[in-house]
Amino acid sequence: MRFFLIIFFAAQTLSAQDITRGDTSIRKISIVFTGDSFADGGNFIRQTLNRKNVKGSFFLTGNFYRNKNLHRLVESLKKDGHYLGSHSDKHLLYCDWEKRDSLLVTREEFFNDLENSYKELNKFSVTKNNARYFLPPFEWYNDSITKWTCEAGLQLINFTPGSRSTADYTYPEMGNRYVASDVIFKSITDFEEKSPSGMNGFILLVHIGTDPRRTDKFYKHLPRLIDLLRKKGYTFVRVDELLTTNCLSSF
């Protein structure tokens, strides 16, 4: 799996047709899990969500869905009532890290990759009709990708900026890019305490698995985080219960 530095403002809304947060007047949160090559947290996350009676949203690549060693996990997540969606097929980087308006894929490549990811989802009886939300690979995209996603009949979403949860993929060998789990946890609680609307409507992204060089797995902190936020009055829901589509009526 390729790793890149995610710039803090990567999730800022680029247009009226992408969504990075739900209704900020309601104390609801969605935890979304993304995955491509790694799935070491899959069973722990599933057990945690079941024990805490939380429904999560899983955006996985075609690479993940194709992996026969992960089929039982995917089937279990679906049976448990979690949301399953696409994170692309091959985990492509759509646009340049430095020049975001510079596309690295053609329209045809984007559509072919997206369709291939839904072919894998279909094998688990998940169709576009029940997986309308799409979370782009690397959480990095531009206006063209947002528009193409709408043209495909899907709604592009991304994580809510403000915490450092997306840095849970980093490992010590990355030097100053590495972010420890206690730092990530504190960034979430600090945001909740300092933001005028708290974490209302928040889309919190966590990786379902990370490089084995990261031994300090953030997903291990999920039970404590869920308990803490529940005590503050938050309810955890799937993304399709948190969000309404912005773009589909335009096409």
CA distance 36 to 2: 10
**What per-residue confidence (pLDDT) applies to 245?**
72
Tens digit of pLDDT for each residue in 55-71? 999 999 999 999 999 99
Look at phi and psi of residue 173 and say left if phi exceeds 0, alpha if psi is from -120 to 50, else beta. alpha
Neighbours of 246 (CB within 10 A): 18
pLDDT tens for 35-60 read 999 999 999 999 999 999 999 999 99
Report pLDDT for 246.
67
The pLDDT value given to residue 51: 98
What is the spatial distance between Cα 230 and Cα 163, in angstroms, rounded to a whole number? Answer: 18
Residue partners of 47: CB distance under 8 A and separation at least 6: none
- State how far the Cα of 147 lies from the Cα of 82, in Å rounded to an integer: 27
Domains in the chain: ranges and CATH: 14-250 (3.20.20.370)
